[in-house]
Structure 1
Amino acid sequence: MSLYRSLSARVDGEVRCDEGSLAAYAHDSSNYRQTPSVVVVPRTVQAGAEAVRVCHEYRAPVHSRGGGTSLAGQCCNEGVVIDWSKYCTRLLSVDGERALVEPGVCLDDLNAQLADRRLMVGPKPATHDTCTIGGMIGNNSCGASAQAYGKMADSVIRLEVLTYDGLRMWVGETSEEEYEHILALGGRRAEIYRAMRRLRDENLALIRTRYPRIPRRVSGYNLDSLLPENGLNVARALVGSESTLVTVLHAEIRLFPVPRFQSLAVLGYPDIATAGDMVPEIVKYRPLALEGLDHELMDLARIEHTAGQDVLDRLPEGSGWLMARFGGDTREEADERARRLIGEARGAHTTYLDDPAEEERVWRVREAGLGVTAYPPDNPDTHEGWEDAAVPPERLGDYLRDFQALLNRFGYHNSSLYGHFGQGCVHTRIPFDLDDPDGVAKYRRFVEEAAHLVASYGGSLSGEHGDGQSRGELLPIMFGSEVVGLFGVFKRIWDPEGRMNPGKIVNPYRLDENLDHLDYHPAEPMTSFDYPRDHHRFTHAAARCVGVGNCRSTSGGVMCPSYRVTREEKHSTRGRARILMEMMRGETVTGGWRSKAVYEALDLCLSCKGCRGECPVHVDMATYKAEFLSHHYRGRPRPAAHYSMGWLPLWARIAALAPGAVNALTHTPGLSGLVRLAGGVDRHRELPRFATERFTDWFRDRPERPPGEGDPVVLWPDTFTDNFRPGAAVAATRLLETYGYRVEVPPVPLCCGLTWISTGQLATARRVLRRTVAALAPRLRRGVPVVGLEPSCAAVLRSDAPELLSGDPDVELLARQTRSLSEMLLDRVPVAPLPGTGVRALAQPHCHQHAIWGFDADAGLLERAGIQAEVLDVGCCGLAGNFGFERGHHEISTGVAELGLWPAVRAADEGTRILADGFSCRTQIESGTPAKPVHLAELLAEVLLRSPPAPTRREEERALSRVRP
């Protein structure tokens, strides 16, 4: 029986060897790529242990994986990969300040469960919303909070581990009595402990003298944890072993009280090295975290809009900054600690932030470092490979000068330097050329010299991300060959067959082996989109993902809706991006544009564009999906939904001739089912009703035409507003005219092409857009703005159109001059007197708006109008245009809604207005709650113009039912 069949038969879980799964797991967040043979997703810890036993029987290599965000190559290897992050995610118990957890629990999710007890896990890496406790144990994770709480090794109390040959046991600190008891019992456990004790006792001097005494030594095995003065702590010796020794099944970890209040002091210096010089002085003030960042990072944050100008303006003068975060039991205590530092700081410009929201926005600039530095505009792409070395904090300034000189000598300019300066850890991404052999040879020479430089400072090759493949080969430079020899002995004690994550730390792969981009030179396909941020190359776009994994977060923000429901790697933005890259490579994923694996991965993409706005490197999976579908179906019949919903603007125009008859056809029992079947619509979905009068007809025929005064604007009559919810456009017209605009509507029916784009019918979309641009061109050239009411359509005009019709100056004008209603009214609506109107609203921002231009203008306008609004941060509505209507998507669509939107709307206080500009959002809200959502235009007209609200769909239905024969 094959390994795959045995795993499938014996493991309670998902066992896969399909192209898509293997492609998704061939990568982590490093420069490396290795395709596994089988992926196992166990449903229980016991099932995961059984998977290891099966692997042992077949002598198959095995390694564990959590969030898959490792930067040194720990999480990609051949053999079997066990992903614990989908099911093995429980917090089992809390006892005082101790927690017992399964290895796959996400750090942020765990902290959320501990919040009621005001406890938290100490270490907090930048990937806190996606990393798992098991992965943090594997890498000995740190993060900014390690300044106060130490590395993960300092939090681990006990571990339940499983060896490759089947021994399952709990390990921790070992007293002399316990040690003797273990030996007395005999067996494999006694053999391991006896061998560890011998290794320690025969090499005490070597272990005590060759380990750097710095706070951020992550490289190598923690043999120093076995020393007598450290209590023969086997658990801590295994932390940071990167799945090369054991499989972690459970962990008992220490918890810490959550600081009740925090404050932030920012200090500016002439350059980053001078900032490094000041670290020893500032550490004396005992901050919770002390982070450094340079002008390169801040400039990129400004360009990439990671931080708003208001945030950047709060930074003190300088080109290198230190951010010191303090905590306290009271607001006064936290503030006083920050003020004391600012008052006593020497040679620094300072800023003190006392607004928690503002503090968080500034802090996020530092956390976004990896993302904003990956693809610097007008400069080469950057890579990891030497991104987290650590030196003694008291020598940090001099190290930064020497390291910058090394970068300059190799011609690696514009490399940002930032990191956990309070502990001497420096992050950077460097423009290594890993696409050709000469560039790789230069990369090797650089990291070898960099390793010698760090060793000369008594530092560690890794201060956070571990060794994996990128630094395993360099460990003799840091530790010497004798200590590295001890690592080999330690490996053989635990894994004598060498099958646990082979090639990492011990007997490592070469650092220039298995490189992801070295053999990635696929032919460039002809595409419909232009991909301007990717050098106009789809192959670059497909390889854009750097693996940070923000798309795997389970709360807050927008992306990735389908991942949040399925918890499937291949249904995350990262998983889809990796599969697309493998499609272009043509090895693991075969079939090119006709690939079934790629189609399956993209099928559950909602095209919400959340990734375009929230992915640190702005992967735009909605665009990639549209491109793929256009190639996938070229010359072939399409699904029925592509003809029904993809061509909705045409059908809507026809339906406008007799909307009552069409509504009767689509809502009569029996007939409606046939219509849904023919159109590829899910049987659970109710078809929307066409309005009895379109907005464009109302606008043309209305008797009360205002005089031709005011600034002209074109009100865009999108298909959804015009044909289904015209009340929003009527309200917008009255608002715009009231506040000084002259409203115009295109004289002929036009469309943005959204429905054709989302279904991958890009040739048609381009024709539709060309016609639209040609009709609007005279107004555009006169500077007339176009006001969009449907966010998804406005996003097409602002973003998709210039990428589909690249180089057309009128298209560029359209993109620049398309505005939202709130952007047009924000400066014209007077500020309402306090205390406001008394109207409360719960606002659901549309995903496309969130990604392309944001909700700030809407929030500002609501405040000016005196409406007290709560802006939801619960993710996508789940309907997402045609996605939620398509047959087979209903379960995912409603699952997304149940994650956040529906519960939030149901919990809203009575009388709270539900605000949603997107037609899809309003339709989804109505389908799962009793709420009657309105468009911003309708709510503003009701409040500012005292216009009665338009009838809701359900009210219209009740009225229609009363007059039907």
Structure 2
Amino acid sequence: MTAVEASPPRGAAAGDERGVELEQLLMRDLEGEVAFDDYSRHLFSRDASMYAIRPVGVAFPRDADDVAAAVTAAASLGVPVVPRGAGTSLAGQTVGDGLVLDMSRHMGRIHWIDPDARTALVEVGVVQDDLNVAAATHGLMFGPDTSTSNRATIGGMAGNNSAGSGSVRYGMTIDHIRSLDVVLSDGSRALFEPVDQTERERRAAQQTLEGRIYRGLPEIVDRHARAIAEDFPAFWRRAGGYRLDRLADDTAFDLAKFVVGSEGTLAVATQALVDLVPKPARTVFAVGHFTSVPAAIAATGDALECGPAQVEMMDKTILDLSRRKIEYADLGKSLEGDPAALLFVSFTGDDEAELVANLERLDALWRKNGHGYHTLRAVTPAQQSALLKVRKSSLGLLMASSVGTLRPLAFVEDTAVDPTHLAEYTARFKTLLDGHGLSAGFYGHASVGCLHVRPFVDVTDPAQVATMRAVAIEVKDLVAEYGGANSSEHGDGLVRSEFNRSIFGDDLYEGMREVKRLFDPDNVLNPGKIVDAPTMTDNLRDPALPP
């Protein structure tokens, strides 16, 4: 094993003796590289969120043995472990004061694809697009479709329970995980998969951490049965908290699905057996033009009646930003007039005539019900190119619109309500932001009631930081009125975890704390996420550093 720099222990030498000893242990025990220099620690102090925490060091495991060795070494010294994929987290899940495990550098092998079973066995560092390229040779793909698919890893998607634009048809990552090979908080290894009662009891008899987990979880479920049945948000599209509801139903006892969305706080996944879905041969789009965001949302119901694969909304803020960029100039040539919002509705399948008929049916419904003033049809790849380029770049366009330290921040960007409530909910959301003097871009997945709203905030201004937290609390309460989810696909992380007691109630929240203690009694794995979290305004990026 070689260090990144051939020199004495570096980053930790300034005063963190844990880091000095940990670097030595990792250099001895790992095949992959380690990096404790100041530059690497600075690079890995950030992800795609608004947070920054300088880690003790970074390790780049080559395989599951390296992961187990790293967790064992860190745990022996009381150093937390922060698993990380591509670092695309918007909620701060992958930053922390500990040892960052970068699973993306080496653990990107696709072991096999079984086209008959429609499954694939992959390491957690496999990038979503790479899996889709390999699966496409068999006419298959991975169902969840994130906007960061060219860099997001399967492990990160599992840790976060990612969803994306196609979730109205394909659900979330949790719906596509068959089994997970994991490293537990003491460095031991386990295979999480669905088991029947006999097998659960056999595993529970082991005098190991895995055995304690299989013994303890049913007891937690029993103790908190009422809260599990009644206190989870009603809406299905959820990516927050621990999924005790998945253990309380009548299906097999499945720890693989249980730890999906746990953000690396319960176990470190090293390998996943995932389900694949048939890849449609053709995709066509209807792009509705509307005079306002409420008008676009009101048209979503008609779109859902037609069985779409996706219904995505984009507001004028993002459209105007795209017009200022030469690489997106072709979009303006395709649009009719100056819409205040667009709805992108896609239909997928193998029969183009049937798909075009769906476009015609949707157009007729919108005309009949007075929705929109124009519908653009994009059937060929050439017609779709400019539209798709902008649709997938909404976040990038917003971020590029930052002015100095005034940036569109992700702190209330992940709520979701039943689409039947989306129009009223969005109107109240907009009124709430107006009341605080905040502007924002609105875009996202109208088909599943999830809009990504990013208010512009200057975190160098203490008054605006206070406003940001006040807005987060008001939005959390607003979404609860509609039975929605405060975290619908981006997770809890540092930005939303502090509100989980309020969201889930004392009984259910205490059950989740018991889960954390059962899996991780020494609080080694990604502490401060989901339960027992700091205030959302702690650990904001240092405004004195470059953005």
| Counterpart check, 1:521 vs 2:537 | no
1:12 aligns with 2:31: yes
**Structure 1 residues not aligned, in runs of 5+:** 523-541, 544-965
Question: For the structure 1 residues 503 and 257, does the alpha-carbon distance in structure 2 shift closer, same or farther, using more than 3 Å as the test?
Answer: same
Q: Is residue 352 of structure 1 aligned with residue 377 of structure 2? A: yes
Query: What amino acid is the match of 2:87?
Result: G
Indicate the SS of the match to 1:418.
Answer: strand
Match of 2:415 in 1: 389
Output the CA distance in 1 between the equivalents of 2:198 and 2:544.
60
Which of 1 and 2 has higher RCO (CA within 8 Å, sep 6+)?
2
Q: Which residue of 2 aligns with 1:297?
A: 318
Match for 1:339: what amino acid?
A: E
Q: Deviations over 1:591-616 (max 9, x none)?
A: xxxxxxxxxxxxxxxxxxxxxxxxxx
Query: What CA distance in whole angstroms lies between the structure 2 residues aligned with 1:222 and 1:12?
Result: 35
Could you say if the C-alpha distance between residues 296 and 514 of structure 1 is closer, same or farther in structure 2, counting changes exceeding 3 Å?
A: same
Q: Following the alignment from structure 1 to structure 2, what is the Cα–Cα distance between the partners of residues 191 and 309?
A: 59
Matched-pair contact (CA < 8 Å) for 1:292–1:322: yes
Larger Rg: 1
Alignment partner of 2:277: what SS?
strand
* TM norm structure 2: 0.92
**1:258 counterpart = 2:259:** no
Deviation at 1:409, TM superposition (A): 0.3
Q: Which has the higher helix share?
A: 1
Task: Find out whether 1:199 has 2:220 as its counterpart.
Answer: yes
1:733-756 residue CA offsets vs partner (Å, 9 max, x unmatched): xxxxxxxxxxxxxxxxxxxxxxxx
Q: 1:59 and 2:78 equivalent?
A: yes
Query: Is contact 1:200-1:223 (8 Å) kept?
Result: yes
Instruction: State the partner residue of 2:513.
Output: 488
Aligned counterparts of 2:382 and 2:509: Cα–Cα separation in 1: 47
Q: Deviations over 1:329-369 (max 9, x none)?
A: 12222222222211222322312111223213212212111
Q: CA deviation at 1:315?
A: 5.1
**What are the Cα deviations for residues 249-279 of structure 1, in whole angstroms up to 9, with x where unaligned?**
1100100111001100111222112222332
Aligned equivalents of 2:236, 2:297: Cα separation in 1: 16
Cα offset, 1:371, TM superposition = 1.2
Tell me if 1:406 matches 2:432: yes
* 1:185 Cα offset (Å): 4.2
Distance (whole Å) between structure 2 residues aligned to residue 339 and residue 288 of structure 1: 16
- The equivalences for 1:857-936 within 5 A come to none
* Conserved 8 A contact 2:330-2:386: no
CA offset at residue 306 of structure 1?
4.8
- Match of residue 343 from structure 1: 364
The match for 1:116 is 137
Q: CA RMSD in A?
A: 1.7
Contact 1:452/1:477 (8 A) holds in 2: no
1:136-285 equivalences in 2 (<5 Å):
136-285=157-306
Note the C-alpha offset of 1:66. 0.5
Cα deviation, residue 226, structure 1: 0.7
1:170 counterpart SS class: strand
Contact 1:158 1:253 in 2 (8 A): yes
Q: CA deviation at 1:160?
A: 1.0
Partner of 1:453: 478
1:429 alignment counterpart: 454
Q: Secondary structure at the match of 1:430?
A: strand
Distance 1:507 1:174 in 2: 30
Out of 86, 101, 105, the position equivalent to 1:82 is 101
Contact 1:26/1:36 (CA < 8 Å) preserved in 2? yes
The residue aligned with 1:135 is: 156
| Whole-Å separation in 2 of the counterparts to 1:305 and 1:336 | 34
Aligned mate of 2:57, from 28, 38, 46: 38
Out of 124, 135, 142, which is 1:103 matched to?
124
Q: Is the 8 A contact 1:224 1:230 kept in 2?
A: no
Question: What displacement does 1:72 show?
Answer: 0.5
Deviation at 1:422, TM superposition (A): 0.4
Residue 283 of structure 1 deviates from its aligned partner by: 1.4
Structure 2 CA distance for aligned equivalents of residues 469 and 385 of structure 1: 10
The equivalent residue for 1:373 is 398
Q: 1:163 to 1:434 in 2, by over 3 A?
A: same
Q: Which residue in 1 is equivalent to 2:526?
A: 501
Shift of 1:463: 1.4
Q: Is this contact kept in 1: 2:106–2:125, CA < 8 A?
A: yes
Q: 1:359 to 1:200 in 2, by over 3 A?
A: same
Higher strand share: 2
For residues 402 and 96 of structure 2, what CA distance do their matches in structure 1 show? 33
Amino acid paired to 2:129 = D
> Does residue 512 of the first structure (1) align with residue 531 of the second (2)?
no
Change beyond 3 A, Cα 1:329–1:30:
same
2:67–2:183 Cα contact (<8 Å) kept: no
Contact 1:375 1:382 in 2 (8 A): no
Tell whether the 8 Å contact from 1:382 to 1:432 is kept in structure 2 after alignment: yes
SS in 2 for 1:417: strand
**SS in structure 1 opposite 2:195?**
coil
Partner SS for 1:250? strand
Q: Distance in 1 between matches of 2:255 and 2:204?
A: 15
* CA distance in 2: counterparts of 1:273 and 1:477, whole angstroms: 29
Q: How far does the alpha carbon of each residue in 1:448-493 deviate from its partner, in whole angstroms, 9 at most, with x for none?
A: 1111111111111111110000000112232222222111111111
Say if 1:59 and 1:499, in contact at 8 Å, map to a contact too.
yes
User: What residue is the counterpart of 1:91 in the other structure?
Assistant: 110
Tell whether 2:70 aligns with 1:26: no
Q: Distance in 2 between matches of 1:115 and 1:375?
A: 33
Q: In 2, Cα distance between the equivalents of 1:244 and 1:107?
A: 22
Aligned AA (1:202): R
Letter in 1 for 2:444: G
Pairwise CA distance, 1:281:
3.0
- Separation in structure 2 between the aligned mates of residue 59 and residue 27 of structure 1, nearest angstrom: 22
Please state how far the C-alpha of 1:428 moved relative to its aligned partner.
Answer: 2.0
Letter in 2 for 1:93: W
TM superposition shift of 1:377: 7.1
* 3-state secondary structure, aligned to 1:275: helix
Q: Distance in 2 between matches of 1:474 and 1:315?
A: 43
Distance 1:338 1:177, change over 3 A: farther
1:307 paired to 2:328: yes
Tell me, what secondary structure is at the counterpart of 2:34?
strand
Offset at residue 17 of structure 1 (A): 0.4
Does the aligned pair in 2 maintain the 1:122–1:149 contact within 8 Å? yes
**Other-structure match for 1:915:** none
1:266–1:316 CA contact under 8 A, matched in 2: no
* Number of residue-to-residue matches in the alignment: 521
What amino acid is aligned across from residue 327 of structure 1 in structure 2? T
TM-score of the superposed pair, with normalisation by structure 1: 0.53
Deviations 1:670-713 (A, max 9, x none): xxxxxxxxxxxxxxxxxxxxxxxxxxxxxxxxxxxxxxxxxxxx
How many Å separate the matches in 2 of 1:377 and 1:84? 31
The 2-side partners of 1:234 and 1:482 are apart by 22
Looking at structure 1, the residues matched to 385 and 168 of structure 2 have their Cα atoms a distance apart, in angstroms, of: 18
**Identical columns (%):** 33
User: 5+ residue gaps in structure 2?
Assistant: 1-19
